[in-house]
Amino acid sequence: MNPGATGLFLDRDGTINVEREYLSDPDRVELIPGSADAIREANEAGIRVFVVTNQAGVARGLHSEADILAVHRRLEELLSAQGARLDALYYCPHHPEFGPPPYRKVCNCRKPNTGMLRQAAETYGIDLASSFVVGDKCSDIETGKNARCGTVLVLTGYGRTEAPSCTADHVAENLFEAWKHIQKIIQKRISSFSHGS
Ligand SMILES: [Mg+2]
Ligand SMILES: [Zn+2]
């Protein structure tokens, strides 16, 4: 039986692109250097790449779901200009305490819940136990642990502030360095498999 593919689950703000508080303007999307290279190399290695992002600014009435989609289009445009591609982008617009229904909701998609990862796993045949979560917040790392994925905290975005209070499997300077670490783990798996050990 096919054990399922490896997935790379990436937080968006502060991980792929520069953190801007409640980013809603496509013109303010700016890639962190090396992000596109990391994603392109993962694409080339046959790893599915997903964005999983909490966007409670919707529940808080700060921006709309249309704004999120516009930001995602811009993000994909900037990545595509460097040959990188996202397999899917998932977002949670909810908040448990703020805003009107349907956005004020205790949902299963808001990180550190695993709803977005499980949806991707089902749609794309991803094996979460062999997959990785990369993010700049402890909630990203908790999401990964909750889904039994490997976890890497990046020191971009809120990473430096968050680092003392969370226990990721690995800490990396940025997404590109996080990918280099993950790539080594994947290569090791492949070589141990092909050597039959
Ligand atoms: Mg973030
Ligand atoms: Zn949600």
Q: How many CA atoms lie within 13 A of 158 on its CB side?
A: 16
Give pLDDT, residue 195.
76
Give pLDDT, residue 185.
97
Q: What is the pLDDT of residues 51-66, one digit of tens each?
A: 999 999 999 999 999 9
Beta bridge partners of 7: 48
Structure tokens at 133: 């979560």
Separation of CA 189 and ligand 1 centre (Å): 29
Q: Which residue has the higher pLDDT, 93 or 4?
A: 93
Separation of CA 94 and ligand 2 centre (Å): 4
Name every residue whose Cβ is closer than 8 Å to that of residue 173 and which is 6 or more positions away in sequence.
154, 155, 156
Whole-angstrom distance, CA of residue 102 vs CA of residue 57? 14
Mean pLDDT over each residue of the chain, to the nearest integer: 95
Question: Which ligand approaches the C-alpha of residue 21 most closely?
Answer: 1
Q: Give the neighbor-by-neighbor strand order of the sheet with 170-172.
A: 88-92, 48-54, 7-10, 132-135, 150-154, 170-172
Region 143-158: mean pLDDT is: 98
- What pTM was estimated for this model as a whole? 0.96
Q: What is the pLDDT of residues 65-98, one digit of tens each?
A: 999 999 999 999 999 999 999 999 999 999 999 9
Q: Which of 2-6, 134-138, 180-184 has the lowest mean pLDDT?
A: 2-6
Give pLDDT, residue 196.
66
Question: Which ligand approaches the C-alpha of residue 95 most closely?
Answer: 2
What CATH code would you report for 7-173? 3.40.50.1000
Q: What is the pLDDT of residues 9-34, one digit of tens each?
A: 999 999 999 999 989 999 999 999 99
Instruction: State the pLDDT confidence band at 197, using cuts at 50, 70 and 90.
Output: low
Instruction: State the pLDDT confidence band at 2, using cuts at 50, 70 and 90.
Output: low
Helix axes 65-80, 35-44, angle to 10 degrees: 70
Separation of CA 13 and ligand 1 centre (Å): 4
Region 37-50: mean pLDDT is: 98
Question: Which ligand approaches the C-alpha of residue 139 most closely?
Answer: 1
13 in active site: yes
Structure tokens at 73: 């289009």
Separation of CA 20 and ligand 1 centre (Å): 10
Q: What is the pLDDT of residues 102-118, one digit of tens each?
A: 999 999 999 999 999 99
Give pLDDT, residue 1.
43
Q: How many CA atoms lie within 13 A of 46 on its CB side?
A: 6
Is it the case that residue 194 has pLDDT exceeding 60? Answer: yes
Separation of CA 186 and ligand 1 centre (Å): 24
Whole-angstrom distance, CA of residue 54 vs CA of residue 22? 10
Strands 150-154 and 48-54: unpaired
Whole-angstrom distance, CA of residue 88 vs CA of residue 98? 27
Q: How many CB atoms lie within 10 A of CB 166?
A: 18
